[in-house]
Chains A and B, each alone.
Chain A
Amino acid sequence: MVRVDVTLLLLALFSTVGLVFTYLAVSERDLVRAVIYSAVQSSAYAVMLYLLRAPDIVLVYLPVAVGLYPAALLFLIGKTEKVDGE
């Protein structure tokens, strides 16, 4: 039986989740959905930062990237266009 640390398995899993949702966010035409995909990617990165033993950074990253960026971007989308491209 091969020994492996749980930390490494979870790190690889959540970084793959981040990659998948980044691709979805960049290639999506509807801008509100793109913001939601990027918020999910930020949550996956917040879990990764906790696994990398950095609790100070998690306390900064969680309100900023999951709360403040999507809020400001949704204000911007509400006042301007809602679709990317033609």
Chain B
Amino acid sequence: MLNEKPFPFTGDHPHFGVHGWRELLGKSENIPAVDMARHFLITGETGSGKSVSAVIPLLRAALRYPERAAYKAYRLRAGDAAEGQERLRPAVLVVDPKQELHEVVNREAGKRKVTTLCYGTPGKVLYFFEGKDVTKMSAIEAVDSILAQSDFYTRDLATTREPCWNIQAANLIKDFVAVDMYLAKQGMDKLHALWQKVREELGKFEEYAPICPMLQYNKLNYFKPIGVLVAYSTSTEASYPLGVYLEACNAMKVPGELTARLVTVMSLAHVTRSSVVWMANGILGDIASDEFAACVSLNPIEAPEDSFSVREMLDKGDVLVYIPTVSPSAIADTVGRCIKAKFMEFVFTRTNKVRPFGYIVDEAHRFITAGESDGEQSLLDRCRAYRTFVVLSTQSIASLMVRLEGNAILGTSALQVMLNNCGNALYFRSSDIATQQNVQARIPECPVLGRPHVVKVRPLTSLGTGSCYAMRANGTWGLFHVHVSS
């Protein structure tokens, strides 16, 4: 799927001006575009000044790029080959859990369109299957790509001793989607009729009466009826809801191969079936919730009307701000990862190859992934060639480990790859041992034999607010005080 040829920054490109980093960058206060594309890792505990003195200046630099003076100098250097100033303005994706960055974005964005996606608030949604041909997509492909973002599924699959339940649960969901997609291809009225039939049949039983209104095709929250149906499929006497659904499928002439597995689940012993259904419940709890549907549309059958186009954003240089909940929430984090995955998918295949893309994320440990295609460890390396710069701000390396160790296969090594790919790193005050070891490994030994390493003499715990160990992509390192703006 990759484009045939990368289009990296060259040494000629105008530099990023980061104001307030005089001590770190010298008098000119700028970072060459090539170095900026080597990404930033910013760690530090709460109150160490990492947001105010590092993330916000970098965000401001990304939004102001290219500045007038720098661009003029670039025009002189490049001559006729120079790229247009407006075309060089980066598209920016900002993840802002602490709600500190969106004000800066609104102030600095200028003419560009700013879309704010606020968790749990209805508004424009992200269409998860944008750019894919829905008619040609298979149910397995669709559900797999959805489940790859689900924290509940991926982490549990990696850590559990009996992954068969998770796989069974995923298959269960795949079958429901496959049936719906089959019927949708025959005509949407057939799909509506299926759910109508299920609703009518279940309406006859008093215990299912309250859930009946929810059992209908829902364009905005596609997985909701499936979630409701699955939740009621554990009853002892007979699995009525599932049975009714299968009968309805038969009546709609759905091919048997699509429903075969559902029949198998029904024939399982009660205890076994409970395990599968409870696992599916967990997965659907994430993706079928209303909060999730308010931000991301997972409908594999038709696109929502009120969605924003990620591809267009990347082409026009717009800004997207995602504001999750202040307190960590699994669903909010899943939404964040969905947005990231979508952007990263289009970054490599976009048509506008001049425009850079910036991904600035605060509290990165909540949104980081180690997947094979969209995990940070593979992205950070690849994106350098595609004019993409990433700013990861996190509490400590231990908190990144917590997020990634669930993925037992890639976990720790993925983290190492990520750290190695962040050519620029700022370490603020932290009492985390993993961070300390990382700094010690990256800063060279003392030039005098037998003298202790600088990190032993001046540990990260001894740094004041705004002071940090900084390592730059050009090989310089040092202990700096970066400006804390009021």
A binds B: no
Query: Chain B residues in contact with chain A, CB under 8 A?
Result: none
